[in-house]
Structure 1
Amino acid sequence: MSAVSELRVIAYTADGLLDVNPVYVETLRLLGTDGEGEVLVAEDGGRLLGTIMFEPWSPRSEIARGADEAEVRAFAVAPQARGRGVGRALVNALVERAREEGVSRLLLSTQPQMLSAQYVYRARGFVRVPERDWSPLPDVTLLTYELVIKD
């Protein structure tokens, strides 16, 4: 798991996403290590290119509200692997995983400046749900997107 944790930190740091909340680095490192959720990875010849986490609803969920919902967490693509379809492949794999689990709605939070990630989400069919936007810290507002999964 350490390579996944390191990739997350590198990707988020490269985009300045930890500037406003540097302590989030510990959360990035630990997501998925407690047995909650499922970490998916993209590799090429044993080299880690990206990662994303599928987290079914639990009482600790940040934005999912019931057992029919799940969250997308810790989406990160290595800076040198961007623009190669890695992010799209990861999001597609996570949507398929959610479908296999019978989830009807996938939700995610993103920082406003995460434009590349938002592009990937919208291209896959995620739409904004501003009524679920939230602020984990006073100066941080997270935008929420959802994808309704149909059989």
Structure 2
Amino acid sequence: MNAVSELRVMAYTADGLVNVNPAHVEALRLLGADGRGEVLVAADDERLLGTVMFEPWSPESEIARNADEAEMRAFAVSPGARGLGVGRALVNALVDRAREEGVSRLLVSALPEMVAAQYVYRARGFRRAPDRDLSPLPDVELLTYELVVKD
């Protein structure tokens, strides 16, 4: 899990995203370590290229509201692997995983500055769900996207 944690922190730092909420670094490192959720990774023969976490609904969910929903969390692609389709492959794998679990709606939140991630979400069919936007800290606004996995 250490390599995944470090990739997350490196990717978010490279994009200047930890400046928005420096305390988020520890959350990035720990996400998934408690056994909740499933961490997916993309790698080549030599290195970790990206990661994303599939987290089914639980009472502690941030944006999922019931058992037929799940969240995509901690989406990160190594700066050196961007533009190679790694992010698209990870999101597709996560959608497939949600479908396997019988999830009807997949949700993800993103800082407004996460332009590349939002592009990947929209390209995969995610739509804005402004009624689920969050403000976990003063001056921190998270935009929510949703994908209907099955009707």
TM-score of the superposition, structure 1-length normalised?
A: 0.99
Give the match's secondary structure for 2:123: helix
Q: Which amino acid aligns with 1:43?
A: A
Runs of 4+ in 1 over 4 A off after TM superposition: none
Matching residue of 1:146:
146
Could you tell me how far 1:150 is from its partner in structure 2? 2.3
Q: Which amino acid aligns with 1:117?
A: A
Give the match's secondary structure for 1:147: strand
Question: Across the two proteins, how many residue pairs are aligned to each other?
Answer: 151
Give the match's secondary structure for 1:141: strand
Q: Which blocks of at least 5 consecutive residues in structure 2 are unaligned?
A: none
Q: Which amino acid aligns with 1:136?
A: P
- Give me the whole-angstrom Cα distance separating, in 2, the residues matched to 1:133 and 1:120: 18
Matching residue of 2:32:
32
- Give me the whole-angstrom Cα distance separating, in 2, the residues matched to 1:150 and 1:66: 15
Contact 2:42–2:90 (8 Å) recurs in 1: yes
TM-score of the superposition, structure 2-length normalised?
A: 0.99
Q: How do 1:78-97 and structure 2 match up within 5 A?
A: 78-97=78-97
Could you tell me how far 1:149 is from its partner in structure 2? 0.7
Q: How do 1:2-151 and structure 2 match up within 5 A?
A: 2-150=2-150
- Please report the RMSD computed on the Cα atoms of aligned residues, expressed in angstroms: 0.8
- Give me the whole-angstrom Cα distance separating, in 1, the residues matched to 2:140 and 2:72: 19
- Give me the whole-angstrom Cα distance separating, in 1, the residues matched to 2:58 and 2:131: 20
Query: Greater shift after overlay, 3-12 or 38-47?
Result: 38-47
Could you tell me how far 1:20 is from its partner in structure 2? 1.6
- Quote the sequence identity (%): 79
